Amino acid sequence: MSTPSPKLLFATTNKGKLRELRQLVGDSVEVVSLADLPPVPEPEEDGDTFEANAVKKAVEYARATGLPALADDSGLCVDALDGQPGVLSARYAPGDDKARYEKLLSELSGVPDEKRTASFRCALALAWPDGRTHVEEGRCEGRIGYAPKGEHGFGYDPVFILLDSGRSLAELTAEEKSAISHRGAAFRKMKPKLLSLAARP
């Protein structure tokens, strides 16, 4: 028997997203990541919306690889900063995730609790190699804390505080995070499309 061919590409360079998407998909669809394939140039994320960037990434990766591709464009919209860093979250400060959330904390220094509200947004786009696309979005409400806490997750998770429990997203297990996260919400809407992919001959 020959090995079955891969059915879906997780089209992201972000290891944190990849880990969460793998767990969300489970074994319902056979997946590969970019690391399993010959190098593909990274699409330029020049859209004004999460949706536009997610579609662009999914379409370019699907065309380049010939595989159906699932791309994620996401970020943090902070009300006191008029929605910034938004689609520019990954480029908010040079360096690593810590440098970016520390910049955010310093931008918000002196801003009181009730004005520290924020939301994580995620657009997931599925693109077929022929150019067809399907998009779903999700969001997660919270507020920005005063200092990082928690060891799980990635990105801005240590400074994103949930409204009900007061815990940061980085204090949740992967399962707990996906149950309430922007990515989990978008994924659950996308899931029927992904399952239909698996069923294809």
Ligand X SMILES: O=c1nc[nH]c2c1ncn2[C@H]1C[C@H](O)[C@@H](COP(=O)(O)OP(=O)(O)OP(=O)(O)O)O1
Distance of CA 178 to CAs 24, 168, 182, Å? 8, 13, 8
Phi, psi of 167 (to 5 degrees): -85, 155
Is residue 96 annotated as part of the catalytic site, yes or no?
A: no
Rounded to 5 degrees, φ, ψ at 22 are -60, -45
82 is in an annotated binding site: no
* 14 labeled binding residue: yes
Q: Take residue 185 and report the two structure tokens written for it.
A: 């919400």
Sites for Mg ion among residues 87-106 (CB under 5 A): 90
Q: Which is nearer to Mg ion, 91 or 115 (CB)?
A: 91
Given 73, 113, 130, 164, which residue is catalytic? Answer: 73
Q: Which residues bind ligand X (CB under 6 A)?
A: 12-14, 17, 45, 72-76, 89-90, 100, 120, 153-157, 169, 181, 183
- The CA-based angle 131-183-24, given to 5 degrees, is 90
- Strands in 31-33's sheet, in edge-to-edge order, are 31-33, 8-10, 69-78, 117-127, 133-144, 160-162
Shortest distance (Å) from residue 119 CB to ligand X: 11
Nearer to Mg ion by Cβ, of 40 and 90: the residue is 90
Only segment of 3-11, 85-93, 144-152, 170-178 that touches Mg ion (CB under 5 A): 85-93
The neighbour count for residue 126, using CB atoms within 10 Å, is 23
Residues assigned a catalytic role: 73
Binding residues: 12-17, 44, 73-74, 154-157, 177, 182-183
Instruction: Please enumerate, by residue number, every residue annotated as part of a binding site for substrate.
Output: 12-17, 74, 154-157, 177, 182-183
